[in-house]
Structure 1
Amino acid sequence: MDIQELKIKAAQIRMDLLTIIHRAKTGHTGGSLSNTDILTALYFEIMNLDTTNPRLENRDRFIASKGHSVESLWCILADRGFFPKEELLTYSQFGTRLIGHPNNKVPGIEMNTGALGHGLPISVGMALAAKRDGRPYRVFCLMGDGEQAEGSNWEAAMAGAHYKLDNLIGIIDRNRLQISGSTEEVMGLEPLEEKWSAFGWHVVSIDGNDMEQLIHTFRAVPEVTGKPTLIMANTIKGKGVSFAENVPAWHHHVPSDEQLQLALSELQAQINELQRNGEVHQ
């Protein structure tokens, strides 16, 4: 996909995730909207995957450490064909596979995650196994910024640098909001980039809602041999829906019927504008 197509796909995924959250009457809306561009770039352009063989030995691995923001991931896996898109209608319903956190009974999910601070330690182990087995796959781990208060992340950060895991890419969805307020009010993180650098990681700071920057950065890793990469993806919580952007209450909030229609209209307008721009540039 080119950049224009990826932007359109991200908007469509946002429409899908809002729809399933509204239908289920539960979901982590703000964080799913903020990480949609990241996941779209990875799953539609960057990672080596095979939907017909989800356990492909040399597949790239993705771990959603911020597992509570799973709705965007479910919608992307369905769109890629890991499971029928109709199954999205069962999200958070009784007996479904598509629960409120990643579930490895679903093709495309490596590990059950969501207890914050667990994803990076798992990813370090996977990346180390790849190095020791001489495998070419990479491990991408998406973390939340509120999650950085978990000490297990820093143990894993130290191990990743110690073992020189340049096949490991950590991504922080730096939207600066968590369920109880801003990250800096709840547990100050800054200077966050300097902390990761001090732990021996190569740090790259980008606009995590800018598709061009995401693709360029993911394609460039590793920029430094022998070091894991940390991508500080500066995002907007609730991205794409004007009335949800940078509003803490949308961390876990279900849109009303009226809000859903307004949000879908805004996103469709974004798609229409992208399509018009694409026609002009052809």
Structure 2
Amino acid sequence: MTEQERAYLNELCHKFRVDLIEVLHEKQTGHPGGSLSVCEILTTLYFHTINVYPDDPKNPARDRVVLSKGHAAPMLYRVLAEKGFFPVEEMQTLRDFETRLQGHPCAQDTPGVELSTGPLGLGLSAALGMALSLRLDKSDAHVYAILGDGEINEGTIWEACMSASKFAVDNLTAILDLNGVQLDGTVAEIMPMGNIRAKFEAFGWHCIECDGHDVGALIDAYGQALAKKGMPSILLAHTVKGKGVSFMEGKNAWHGKPIGDAEYEAAMLELGGAK
């Protein structure tokens, strides 16, 4: 990638972080921590790697993105809005009564959302089904499933891993937002997962590790996943929960905590506001 492309993607990420803090402060609801950690993952996917059609959201040739960690919906919505699936101004309706932008993604109502998610552990199985269906249709489209590292406590994740490996589903890429923190504490405190790479490799997956906040490293990792044939791939994207706002970083309290006025001012000062 060129330095111009890198600068463009980083500028988008900055804008999305600022806008996210603004809307979550205004609405006094939402999930800042996991939304901030997944920012570069989503931005590089939608603005560099995948093929989507905002004017024709159900185009059969589209790539599919499943946000299995559905609580990070605010960042997904901001990225989809920038991409043109709906007006950016609609972000101000987040979690309002009868809004299209519910607390967790809703495929029935929201353009660009492929799967209704929220109950953790389900997204990878659904993404596997999508990938198998596309293969039967002889489609070149690819499916991406974004997981949380607390989410991989769920047994359904590993059942999907076994099936994806058995059927050699190489049009499926999982991305693990590996920020080390979940709702009630760190992953090490709640349910230690040990050597995560070794686990996925033992289940027959091609593993790629990268810095989940480095847009160039992510793009390179996506390319490696697309090039790998005969097996599913997973990106172990090392991230920081609450990335970009120092008092939120690595803190499980910011999984779903409302942003107060003083915290909003501090975050805006740190982020530098909108550029």
Structure 1 position 121 matched with structure 2 position 125: yes
The equivalent position to 2:196 in structure 1, one of 188, 192, 196, is 192
Give 1:8's aligned residue. Answer: 11
The equivalent position to 2:43 in structure 1, one of 40, 52, 70, is 40
The equivalent position to 2:166 in structure 1, one of 145, 151, 162, is 162
CA distance in 2, matches of 1:25, 1:170: 31
CA distance in 2, matches of 1:69, 1:204: 22
Deviations 1:231-257 (A, max 9, x none): 001100000111111112111112112
Give 1:76's aligned residue. Answer: 79
CA offset at residue 262 of structure 1? 2.2
Aligned-pair Cα RMSD in Å? 1.3
CA offset at residue 211 of structure 1? 1.1
Deviations 1:103-156 (A, max 9, x none): 111110111011100000000000011111100000000000000010000010
Match runs of 1:137-152 below 5 Å: 137-152=141-156
The equivalent position to 2:259 in structure 1, one of 249, 255, 258, is 255
Structure 1 position 219 matched with structure 2 position 223: yes
Give 2:245's aligned residue. Answer: 241
Structure 1 position 87 matched with structure 2 position 98: no
SS of residue paired to 1:189: coil
SS of residue paired to 1:141: strand
Q: Is the 8 A contact 1:222 1:228 kept in 2?
A: no
Deviations 1:36-64 (A, max 9, x none): 11000001111101111111111000000
**5+ unaligned residues in a row in structure 2: which ranges?**
none
CA distance in 2, matches of 1:63, 1:167: 14
Q: Is the 8 A contact 1:40 1:76 kept in 2?
A: yes
**5+ unaligned residues in a row in structure 1: which ranges?**
273-282
CA distance in 2, matches of 1:60, 1:267: 32
What is the one-letter code of the residue matched to 2:58?
Answer: R
Q: For this pair of structures, how many residues does the alignment match?
A: 271
CA offset at residue 268 of structure 1? 2.7
